Chain A
Amino acid sequence: MTASTLRRIRPWLGTYVYVDVEAASQGIAEAAVEAAFERIANVHQAMSFHSAESDLARLHHTAHLAPTRVSAHTWAVLEQALSLAEASEGVFDPTIAPSLVRQGTLPAPDLPCPDEQGSWQDILLLDDEHVRFRRPLWLDLGGIAKGYAVDCAVEAMLQQGATQGSVNAGGDLRTFGSDPQGLPVTVRNPANPAEQIPLGRIRNRAVATSGDYFLGRSSGANGLSPIVDPQRGSRPSRCRSVTVIAENCCLADGLTKIVSLLGKDAQALLERFDACAAIIEPPEKLHVSPGFWEAVGHGTSPEGLMHA
């Protein structure tokens, strides 16, 4: 029996979402793809920053006044967000949305803007999927919600009986299945997006890449404007990217933000979450954490590498 394969792209999560699947029959493959997109749509709708009907919007309106019930999806992402916030002592913090709104990165909700004194510690997860804020907060779950949507899509395909596949939502990728070769992973060179850097292959794991190294901390303005280096031409001077490989995509995406801010100092956290990371620092340096080369299918390092 030959396996049926299918690839579909639809616009979700603010990007193009690619779903690849292999299953014993065309019918199973199609059902798996539909199930994957349905889950993605559900997660998107629950955690959209814009939509007035999302769980996020309801939390912004009422969670500082009374315990507010959220969907199981939002609950799961909040749990992951708080776990990362606690482990990183606030380096990862989903309450940074007001400053992103101020920068113009997020649109302003139709509400008074909270002051910037709030932090992840003001989010209380109560019983029965109820959430309470100690003060008015705006949450941004964008990145990890996207990773979580990818995870949900993979689970949905497995439930439908898909034998292997992958979901790629513009920077958040997860693969599953029996292919011994694994899925090739290439990352764009942040200094030259047309150039793709092949890193290796992954199997049954998740990868997330983020160029948002300044997220949540420093004045975003510097990071946003590519600075021209007069010595070397038009290369953006501080443009780097972080790639994290972890068991699931929600975690991998969250960890990219932490590694972006802490660099190699994030090593203890990476170990704690059984993850590894690579930082591309243009023009030509690639820093990798212990275990990274093994995770992408090489030995301890690819043979023949030159000293940097």
Chain B
Amino acid sequence: MSKSCDGWTTVSLVSLASAGIATLCPPPAEAAQYMSVEQAQKAAFPEADRFDARSLRLTPEQMRALDAVASVRQRGEIRQIDAWAGNKLLGTLYVDDVIGKVEWVTYALALGADGTVRSLEILEYRETHGYEVRTPSWRKQFAGLRIGTPFHFGEDIKNISGATLSCAHLTAGVQRLLALHAQSGKAAGK
């Protein structure tokens, strides 16, 4: 360890590990489930007394059509859960997966009966989380990125504070679900 006249000290990163700090400070979990689908349903529609769930498997054509809305790798197996209070449709919860940095991020988007976003929750996030550093190279990926969307959860302050790529992907996933929801509404004559 060396010390300079201003009181700063310099150590080698390698020695940090050998000093046993790693054992003092376990690395953050790699995978974590934050909410179950059931919890997400209840949280989004506390007044519901019934949930109707079905699975949608997107065809390659549907996936390509959604790429025109927002391009992101989406697993394509979506759970669509209608929330009811008696015979009144309260809205729909979509559970979907989009690619994060390398792994899938599972999220739940709740839409009211009028199609507006009620809530968005991350259910499962498999990537190393915890303390993020913002590196210039990471930021570079966002230079010039534009997201034509009325939603403001993802795109704003990222420019300085550095959104993760997976967050931008999530924004794209939400846009795709909204497009899908609008189509299914038309198809069902809602």
Show the binding face of A for B, using Cβ within 8 Å. 7-16, 18, 44-45, 47-51, 100, 103-107, 140, 142-143, 145-146, 168-173, 184-190, 193-194, 196-201, 207, 209-215, 220, 223-226, 236, 239, 241, 253, 264, 267, 280, 283-290, 297-298, 301-308
Partner of A264, one of B8, B32, B171: B8
Residue of B nearest to A105 (CB): B159
Q: Within 8 Å CB of B32, what residues of A?
A: 7
A-B contact pairs, 10 of them (CB 8 A): A13-B158, A16-B167, A105-B139, A107-B146, A197-B13, A211-B138, A286-B11, A287-B8, A287-B10, A288-B9
A214 to B160, CA, bound (A): 12
How far does the alpha carbon of A237 sit from the alpha carbon of B160 in the complex, in Å? 21
Known: A288-B9, A302-B19, A305-B1. A224 touches B131 (CB 8 A): no
B159 contacts A49, C-beta separation under 8 Å: yes
A16: chain B residues within 8 A (beta carbon): 122, 125, 129, 164, 166-167
The CA of A148 and the CA of B58, in the complex, are separated in Å by 41
**B156 and A44 contact, CB distance less than 8 A:** yes
Total A-B pairs, Cβ < 8 A: 266
Known pairs A142-B157, A214-B136, A306-B15; A188 contacts B167 (CB<8 A): no
Q: Are B13 and A285 in contact (CB under 8 A)?
A: yes
- Besides A11-B120, A11-B122, 7 new A-B residue pairs in contact (Cβ under 8 A), listed by A number: A50-B155, A169-B161, A193-B135, A209-B133, A209-B134, A214-B136, A226-B137
In the bound complex, CA of A210 to CA of B136 (Å): 9
Selected from A106, A193, A226, the residue in CB contact (under 8 A) with B160 is: A106
B contact residues around A168 at 8 Å (CB): 130-132
User: Are B160 and A10 touching (Cβ within 8 A)?
Assistant: no
Q: Which of B12, B122, B128, B163 has a CB less than 8 Å from the CB of A196?
A: B128
Contact of A287 with B9 in the complex, beta carbons under 8 Å: yes
Q: Are B140's CB and A13's CB within 8 A?
A: no
**CB-nearest residue of chain B to A33:** B43
Query: Closest residue to A209 on the B side, CB-wise?
Result: B133
B188 at the interface (CB under 8 A from A): no
Interface residues of B in 106-128 (CB under 8 A from A): 120-122, 125, 128
